[in-house]
Amino acid sequence: MLNIALPKGRLGDQVYEMFSSIGYECAAIYEDNRKLVFENPENDVRYLLVKPSDVAIYVEYGAADVGVVGKDILLDAKPDVYELLDLNIGKCRLAVAGPEDYIEDRDQVLRVATKFVGVTKDYYSSLNREIEIIRLNGSIELAPILGLSDVIVDIVESGKTLRENHLKVISTIVPVSARFIANRSSYLFKSEAIADMLARLKEVLSRDADHAR
Ligand code: PRP
């Protein structure tokens, strides 16, 4: 049985659609309940519904064999897992954003609000820029509006949240998409099942790419 950590929410729905289309369906997942574990012994899969930011933790510790997680989280937390494939969904970018009229004062320590502490530290240290990080867990866009920070580092997808809060992208740090990851020992001990899943995922991606041409 392969244990798959599925991120709850919009990305998870897309991931499940992809997995079920290549033979890993588990119809019970559509049941309207609060269950977090769903299995289908017929095709040897068990889905674990977890918070998107926790997927890599479940996989790193082996509570799940494989999972799907945003590259943003991999870059930020650097979990010890195998990153096997870019699934080409959940596309967005990690960016620095600030008020529409923002002008940087390079003589001041920059106050950056974010939940991506690792990425933020790496990015600004590569620029040799001194910063103070204000760690928030959500609604990051509020911080510069209230003067809690100068800028934010956050996910930008459509740009709507920034626009509606009179913020703008100042610089893009890195493009982001969903990645298929595996636990290191599962990759050895369940190698056949994981290789089979990986091959089917690659096939569906190349089929989609052909259709897009
Ligand atoms: C994310 C991110 C932005 C928003 C960007 O928030 O933190 O707020 O999406 O999307 P957009 O560019 O399409 O507007 P999410 O909804 O995941 O909630 P969060 O505040 O908990 O991070």
Q: CB neighbours (10 Å) of residue 110?
A: 19
- Which residue type does 135 have? R
Mutation test residue for ligand 1: of 155, 164, 176, the one with most atoms within 8 Å of CB = 155
pLDDT beneath 70, residues of the chain: none
Q: How far is the CA of 190 from the centre of ligand 1 (A)?
A: 35
Reported as a single tens digit per residue, the pLDDT across 39-90 is 999 999 999 999 999 999 999 999 999 999 999 999 999 999 999 999 999 9
Mutation test residue for ligand 1: of 53, 137, 153, 154, the one with most atoms within 8 Å of CB = 154
Q: Which of 171, 130, 127 is nearest to 153 (CA)?
A: 171
Average pLDDT, the chain: 96
Q: pTM above the 0.85 mark?
A: yes
User: E strands within the chain?
Assistant: 2-7, 37-40, 45-50, 66-70, 82-86, 92-99, 110-114, 131-135, 151-156, 167-176, 178-182
Q: Residue 16 phi/psi, 5° resolution?
A: -60, -40
